[in-house]
Amino acid sequence: MVKSDEKLAIDGGKAVRGKPFPPRRLFGDEEKAAAVEVFDEAITTGQAFGYAGPREQAYEKEFAERLGGGFAKGVNSGTSALLAAIAALELEPGSEIVCPPITDPGGVMPIVMMNCIPVPADTNGFSFNVGAEQVAAAVTDRTRAIVVAPIFGEPVDMDPILELAREKGLAVVEDAAQAHGAVYHGRPVGTHGDIAAFSTMFGKHYASGGQGGIFFTQNEDLFWKARRFMDRGKPFRTDEPNNVRLGLNLNSDELSAAIGRVQLKKLPWIIERRQAVAAAVADGIKSLQTVALGKIIPDAQASYWHTRMTLDTDKLTVDKDAFAEAVKAEGIPVGVSYRHIPAEHIWFRSRNTYGSSGYPWTAPYEPPNLPNCEAVLARNFLISIHENWTDKEIADTVAALTKVEKAFLK
Ligand SMILES: Cc1ncc(COP(=O)(O)O)c(C=O)c1O
């Protein structure tokens, strides 16, 4: 038991956790064997491995099957997957796309790359995700699409957003970079909108290498549009004799696919473990008065890329930052702030895009009004859980949160 007079580590007391937390050990012998097999084959046959070959096709089929069927294509990053998603919509330059307020730059830059204007919607008021009401408030007669991002693998409340999109004739893209394995209303995140983009870089739930991503849709027409964009406008599924549209080379390759296939088999276990760890932390702190695991929308399961911890700061003598810093000082892997607001970044504010044109923006920067976003950032911090946490890591986290709450309770 923690004594209420126990000195916090941040004030020079003994930390709850002296030893570092265990590493994820995401890659092991199976990934190594799969990669070696690709090289062995190349050496035996004398043919270099390439891209879009049998391994990649098998990987994409397995990925799509996990989502209940559809069309998947491995690419070289999550940013590329989102870029291909926006490109597939073939929007006119200057079209507005409603986007998340809190996301990775790779979740917004593709919009501008495709000459569209990102319009951040506010959060739902309790999480880092947008809410339907806030998305509706950001829609104008120039809006053509909505990008949502289930931050930390917490599902976005999609049904009202999809209804709004249907009413207004807007496309919906799920930027599921952080949301492998999350479920909304009984179906995987990534299967609710028109297109989904996933990241498979090494820090995500599963990885196809150091960098990677995967594009997914159930719409075959959108798939081939994206596919052409991903490979320099090649005339896939057309009768045209040469390259049909502007594009890039966003291709993945056989080596990444070999790793991705092994990792995909581990994904259900990874998700299950993360959900179990998050539930155990939540259970361990259920008697605390000011700190809890962040609330998830009803009829949804988060896949916990990180766990969002919510504070009732009214009952504390310190603000969120001081509380989170104190938990971190106890040796817990805490992210004090998840202030990833693309609209605050220099490139966005200064319109540093194409030469000095500021294109596609035509109006000077005005800071978006995101009151919910600010309120949520002031009450939430994150703990980086992962699948290899044991009961010891869970117990230490609970002990640290308990100790810090006792010290700062009003
Ligand atoms: C929400 C979101 N979108 C897009 C990206 C970009 O993915 P990548 O880093 O694979 O390019 C990330 C990466 O963290 C992300 O979290």
Confidence band of 1 (pLDDT split at 50, 70, 90): very low
Say if ligand 1 is within 6 A of residue 104 CB: yes
Say if ligand 1 is within 6 A of residue 103 CB: yes
Residue with tokens 């009413």: 167
Query: Does 373 score more than 90 pLDDT?
Result: yes
Distance 102 CA to ligand 1 centre (A): 12
Q: What's the CA gap between 258 and 264, in Å, rounded?
A: 10
Distance 104 CA to ligand 1 centre (A): 5
Neighbouring residues of 382: CB distance < 8 A, sequence distance ≥ 6: 152, 306, 307, 308, 309, 334, 335, 338
Say if ligand 1 is within 6 A of residue 201 CB: yes
Taking the CA of residue 178 as reference, the ligand 1 atom at the shortest distance is 16
Say if ligand 1 is within 6 A of residue 252 CB: no
Amino acid at 344: E
Residue of 188, 212, 217 lying closest to 200 (CA atoms): 212
Q: At what angle do helices 320-329 and 391-408 cross, to 10 degrees?
A: 130
pLDDT digits (tens, 9 = 90+) for 219-236: 999 999 999 999 999 999
pTM above 0.85, yes or no: yes
What CA–CA distances, in Å, run from 6 to 3, 313, 334? 5, 21, 20
Is there a cis peptide before residue 360, judged by omega within 30 degrees of 0? yes
Residue of 218, 201, 219 lying closest to 210 (CA atoms): 201
Query: Does 4 score more than 90 pLDDT?
Result: no
Confidence band of 306 (pLDDT split at 50, 70, 90): very high
Q: What's the CA gap between 38 and 53, in Å, rounded?
A: 11
For ligand 1, mutation pick of 75, 79, 256 (most atoms within 8 Å of CB): 79
Q: What's the CA gap between 28 and 46, in Å, rounded?
A: 27
Neighbouring residues of 185: CB distance < 8 A, sequence distance ≥ 6: 158, 159, 192, 299, 300
Distance 315 CA to ligand 1 centre (A): 35
Confidence band of 2 (pLDDT split at 50, 70, 90): very low
Say if ligand 1 is within 6 A of residue 263 CB: no
Say if ligand 1 is within 6 A of residue 175 CB: yes
CATH among 3.40.50.720, 3.40.640.10, 3.40.190.10, 3.20.20.140 for 29-264: 3.40.640.10
Return mean pLDDT, the chain: 97
